[in-house]
Amino acid sequence: MPDVNDSTSVLLLAANGWVPNNPHLPVLIYRQVFTPDENAAETAQQLFEKNGWPAQWVDGIYPYHHYHSNAHEVLAIARGEARLMLGGPEGEEMAVHGGDIVLLPAGTGHCNLHSSDDFTVVGAYPPDQQFDLCRGAPTPEMLAAIANAPFPHCDPVYGATGPLIKNWINI
């Protein structure tokens, strides 16, 4: 289990054009949580599973702006590196590297601007949340889904403690 004294960043994103983002919950960026070795995808899957976030896929991140209106999403960068845009076009650009984890609240825009050939991501969602893929302005129903996406019971990296509890549950 990673040390809870990590260097987690908090990023609250306002609505940006057609991308709603989440008006109340910040993006959490956990740096260098695990070693990006040949077992990194399995390590990330086990970490998420242990903390109640069932891993659902191993792949990359779409190279177009999108968000999920009905699910929170956690992305473990298993290998490689990428430049991501969070928050929609003209949002916040950030570099991620193997070993980093990004937690996106429902409604948060994200896009892969460029990545290395070995870029591999493990994606997970809280139990009973199935993601949709949104590439346009949200409807009133989608905004309601973002606002009402259930809170996860625990942090995907640290379990019952950690940045999610402090920054999402206790706001």
Residue 162 region by backbone torsions, left for phi larger than 0, else alpha for psi between -120 and 50, else beta:
left
The pair of structure tokens assigned to 120 is: 């591999």
Number of C-beta neighbours around residue 77 at 10 A? 26
pTM score, whole prediction: 0.93
Contact 109, 67 (CB under 8 A): yes
Strand pairing class (73-79; 101-104): antiparallel
Mean pLDDT rounded to a whole number for the chain = 93
The amino acid at 156 = P
Domains (ranges, CATH) in the chain? 8-166 (2.60.120.10)
Confidence of residue 3 (pLDDT cuts 50, 70, 90): very low
DSSP symbol at 130 = -
pLDDT in tens, 80-119: 999 999 999 999 999 999 999 999 999 999 999 999 999 9
| Cα–Cα dist 96/119, whole Å | 10
pLDDT of residue 171: 58
